[in-house]
Amino acid sequence: MAIEHAILVSLLEQPGSGYELARRFERSIGYFWTASHQQIYRVLKRMESDGWVDVRDVPQQGRPDKKEYSVADLGRSALSAWLHRPVEPESLRHDLAVKIRGAAFDDPAALIREVERHRQAHAERLAQYLAGEERDFPGAGAPGAADGPPDAGRELQHVVLRGGIAYERMTLAWLDDVLATLHRLGSGH
């Protein structure tokens, strides 16, 4: 996936300025695709010149006008073509897993602090995901939460978020297993 596709999806969900788009990347899209502010602005400029996005100046009170981006027909076609192309399943490249295996040739207990650091980062990300779920999908799964016609966009956003929550929970369980193993092996040294 290119950053262009993530930007197109975000703009189809809601048009916005480069700044607003960057905030969305930090808040939700960034859970599975990261981009810096500079990268987003650079790509938006290229997408505008390629005819993938339209831009309009929006007057603001007491501040400079802002540029609001929306998806043009050419951008919608590009996204549709990408959606219909197969993507390869992602392969896991995990430096920590290699370190864990390498600990067999050193002191396994020496890796405990590093694994604890990773565990803390994943616990914080899980907390962010759960807070985002509560904020953006309050009462999801509660009886009567699905009143009214389904909103495909919201449901698909939520299923991606649930995937992130499941991934973080699985990673935390695995890191707990790694820590227990390292502690057990470390006590033998």
Distance CA(70)–CA(46), nearest Å, equals 14
Distance CA(114)–CA(100), nearest Å, equals 10
CB of 3 within 8 A of CB of 33? yes
- Could you tell me what percent of the chain has a pLDDT over 90? 47
For the chain, count helices (H), then strands (E): 7, 2
pTM for the whole structure: 0.76
Task: At 152, give phi and psi (nearest 5°).
Answer: -55, -40
What tens digit of pLDDT does each residue of 84-111 get? 998 887 766 688 888 888 888 888 888 9
